[in-house]
């Protein structure tokens, strides 16, 4: 790995424009390797940090524009020290938009250092299996609420958010207008966490979130079946059988709901409001849209699920009457 890392660092120092996609997953990079990558991209830790208004997180100004656009560092055990070095790398890599950091033991300290910069710069962030709990969720929520947040896809599965962390993230969604895909499966989230998400979507405080993944894809392994049973103990008895592979072409709202437990009811409500967002709930609230565009909008809504059409007409009965 030392030879490969040295080769990559040499190319970064030479500002090789062909090195826009860098995959170093499961290569034993470690925190020291991330420090070397940051230095190769032009970060100089001998310079003093700034604290002006344009750089209010205290990061060093960008001195070099590295060619990196996407970076894979999954399974490298970089720990919080590596996360802080990665923050430095981001500060000199303004084109870096795709960041994959699953299984790195980043923890709360690492996400606290990395989130402010990463959320303002990246559009896709994978933070699966990084020992992040409710304390780290506070840092994530603060970064999500920042006016300059750009993240659209955020994966936080296999962490330790629990209800407390999910509530913090749900509150941040009230002020976030960029996030479209949120994955929080396998985080021991119970009824309170789901109710917090449902409340944000129900009150129309968030009209941009389109996909919320919560215990959706599972296989028949014994460990995951046991985990599913533990999750369901927080709710009333659930008789719903989760398919190993669901037909993606068929909207979930059109599938038969044969269980009336609290968990499934919350899932169904959340899915309904997410479908409204995907159908363009923000557009339907805009009275300035030309009347000849409404048939196209409503046809898109009815294509996802017929019940959405009636919901929209109930909310906006003036739409069919507009000329």
Q: What is the pLDDT of residues 204-262, one digit of tens each?
A: 899 999 999 987 544 445 555 565 566 555 544 555 555 444 444 444 554 555 676 77
- Within 127-280, strands assigned E span 153-155, 181-183, 211-213
Q: What is the mean pLDDT of residues 66-81?
A: 96
Higher pLDDT pick, 106 / 287: 106
- Give the Cα separation of 138 and 140 in Å (integer): 5
Residue 313 has pLDDT above 50, yes or no: yes
* Entry pTM: 0.78
Distance CA 180, CA 85 (A): 28
Both structure tokens of 129? 């299996």
- In this predicted structure, which of 42-56, 115-129, 272-286 has the lowest mean pLDDT? 42-56
Residues 100 and 140: their CA atoms lie apart, in Å, by 16
**Looking at residue 75, what is its pLDDT?**
96
């Amino acid at each position: 790995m030392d030879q490969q890392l040295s080769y990559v660092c040499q190319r970064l120092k030479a500002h090789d424009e062909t090195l826009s996609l860098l995959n170093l997953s499961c290569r034993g990079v470690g925190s020291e390797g991330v420090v070397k990558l940051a230095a190769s991209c032009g970060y100089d830790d001998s310079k003093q940090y700034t604290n002006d208004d344009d750089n209010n997180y205290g990061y060093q100004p960008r001195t070099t524009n590295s060619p990196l656009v996407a970076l894979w560092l999954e399974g490298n055990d970089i720990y919080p020290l590596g996360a802080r070095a990665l923050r430095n790398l981001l500060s000199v890599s303004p084109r870096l938009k795709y960041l994959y950091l699953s299984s790195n033991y980043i923890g709360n300290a690492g996400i606290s250092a990395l989130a402010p910069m990463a959320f303002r710069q990246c559009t896709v962030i994978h933070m699966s299996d990084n020992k992040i709990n409710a304390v780290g969720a506070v840092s994530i929520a603060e970064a999500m609420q920042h006016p300059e947040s750009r993240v659209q896809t955020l994966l936080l599965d296999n962490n330790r958010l629990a209800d407390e962390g999910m509530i913090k993230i749900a509150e941040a969604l009230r002020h976030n207008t960029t996030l479209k895909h949120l994955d929080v499966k396998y985080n021991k989230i119970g009824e309170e966490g789901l109710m917090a998400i449902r409340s944000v979507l129900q009150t129309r405080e968030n009209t941009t979130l389109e996909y919320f993944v919560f215990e959706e894809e599972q296989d028949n392994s014994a460990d995951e079946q046991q985990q599913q049973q533990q999750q369901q103990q927080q709710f009333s008895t659930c008789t719903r059988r989760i398919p190993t592979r669901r037909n993606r072409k068929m909207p979930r709202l059109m599938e038969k709901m044969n269980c009336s437990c609290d968990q499934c009811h919350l899932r169904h409500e959340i899915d309904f409001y997410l479908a409204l967002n995907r159908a363009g709930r923000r557009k339907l609230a805009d009275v300035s849209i030309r009347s000849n565009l409404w048939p196209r909008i409503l046809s898109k809504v009815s294509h996802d699920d017929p019940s959405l059409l009636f919901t929209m007409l109930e909310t906006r009965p003036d739409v069919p009457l507009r000329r």
